[in-house]
């Protein structure tokens, strides 16, 4: 039987935070029971990293921001769209590399791009928009 799951969560920071996003994924995984563990771990890590970066860097004045996290799962792939009302970033996706071992930051984009097949960032209608896509691993 084909699997198709589509869910969205909207939050405002504060009080919403990465725990809200994690709880959202827990609910999604209950419904999308055929998603492999490797796909779950990869998507969770990439999305939590992205959420943390958005909440930390796009909220430059500390006043909070509105975010929307949408996930669509089908038999082929897992697609995520993240929209936020934060400050636009100067994002460089091409060539994102891990920093030196002793660096205290700078791993986010490199980690995200390593965990998913496609990452895109744009600004649309005054929002930052991130799109992540990971092809699903075949399960036995």
- pTM for the model stands at 0.84
Q: What is the pLDDT of residues 73-111, one digit of tens each?
A: 999 999 999 999 988 776 554 455 544 555 444 557 888
Which parts of the chain register pLDDT below 70? 1-2, 90-107, 139-140
Closest CA to 56 of 104, 97, 4, 95: 104
């Amino acid at each position: 039987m084909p699997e198709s799951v589509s869910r969205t969560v909207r939050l405002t920071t504060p009080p919403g935070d990465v725990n809200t996003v994690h709880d959202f994924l827990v609910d999604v995984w209950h419904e999308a029971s055929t998603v492999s563990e490797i796909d779950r771990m990869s998507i969770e890590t990439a999305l939590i990293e992205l959420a943390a970066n958005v909440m930390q860097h796009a909220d430059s004045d500390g006043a909070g921001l509105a975010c929307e996290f949408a996930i669509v799962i089908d038999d082929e792939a897992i697609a995520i769209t993240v929209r936020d009302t934060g400050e636009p970033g100067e994002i460089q996706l091409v060539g994102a590399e891990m920093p030196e071992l002793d660096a205290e930051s700078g791993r986010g984009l490199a980690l995200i791009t390593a965990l998913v097949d496609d990452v895109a960032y744009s600004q649309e209608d005054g929002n930052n928009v991130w799109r992540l896509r990971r092809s699903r691993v075949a399960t036995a």
